[in-house]
Amino acid sequence: MRKKPLACAIGAGVIAGLMSSAACAQMSDNVVRIDILNDMTGIYADAGGKGSIVAAELAAEDFGDKVAGARIEIVSGDHANKPDTAANLARQAYDAQGVDAIADGGSSAAALAMQTVSRERKKIFLMSGPATAELTGKSCSPYSFHWMYDTYALAAAPPEGVLKRGGDTWFFITADYAFGKSMESEASKRIAAGGGKVIGGVRAPLDTPDFSSYLLQAQGSGAKVLALATAGSDTSNAIKQAHEYNVIGTNTQVVTFLMFINDVHAMGLNAGQGLISSTTYYHDLDDGSRAFAKRFWDKMGRPPSIVQAGVYSSVVHYLKAVAATGTDDGTKVADKMRELPVEDAFTHGARIRADGRLLRDLYVTEVKKPGESKGPWDYWKIVATIPGDKAWRPAGESDCPLLKTH
Query: What string of pLDDT tens digits covers the 406 residues of the chain?
Result: 333 333 343 333 444 444 433 444 588 888 999 999 999 999 899 999 999 999 999 999 999 999 999 999 999 999 999 999 999 999 999 999 999 999 999 999 999 999 999 999 999 999 999 999 999 999 999 999 999 999 999 887 778 778 888 899 999 999 998 889 989 999 999 999 999 999 999 999 988 999 999 999 999 999 999 999 998 889 989 998 988 888 776 678 888 888 899 999 988 999 888 888 889 999 999 999 999 999 999 999 999 999 999 999 999 999 999 999 999 999 999 999 999 999 999 999 999 999 999 999 999 899 999 999 999 999 999 988 889 888 899 999 999 999 987 5
Whole-number pLDDT of residue 233:
86
Those residues whose C-beta lies under 8 Å from the C-beta of residue 342, and which sit 6 or more positions away, are 313, 317, 349, 350, 351, 352, 358, 360
Gap between the Cα atoms of 107 and 184, Å rounded = 16
Superfamily name and number for 152-279+362-390: Response regulator (3.40.50.2300)
Query: By three-state DSSP, how is residue 356 classified?
Result: coil
Those residues whose C-beta lies under 8 Å from the C-beta of residue 15, and which sit 6 or more positions away, are 63, 67, 319, 320, 323
Whole-number pLDDT of residue 25:
52
- Would 13-149+285-359 and 152-279+362-390 be classified into the same CATH topology? yes
Measured CA distances, 6 to 22, 73, 267 (Å): 13, 17, 51
C-beta atoms surrounding 46 within 10 Å: 23
Give pTM, 2 decimals.
0.88
Whole-number pLDDT of residue 9:
37
Query: Cβ(32)–Cβ(100) under 8 Å?
Result: yes
Q: Tell me the domain boundaries of the chain.
A: 13-149+285-359, 152-279+362-390
Gap between the Cα atoms of 235 and 257, Å rounded = 10
Whole-number pLDDT of residue 249:
66
Whole-number pLDDT of residue 257:
87
User: Domain spanning 13-149+285-359 has what CATH number?
Assistant: 3.40.50.2300
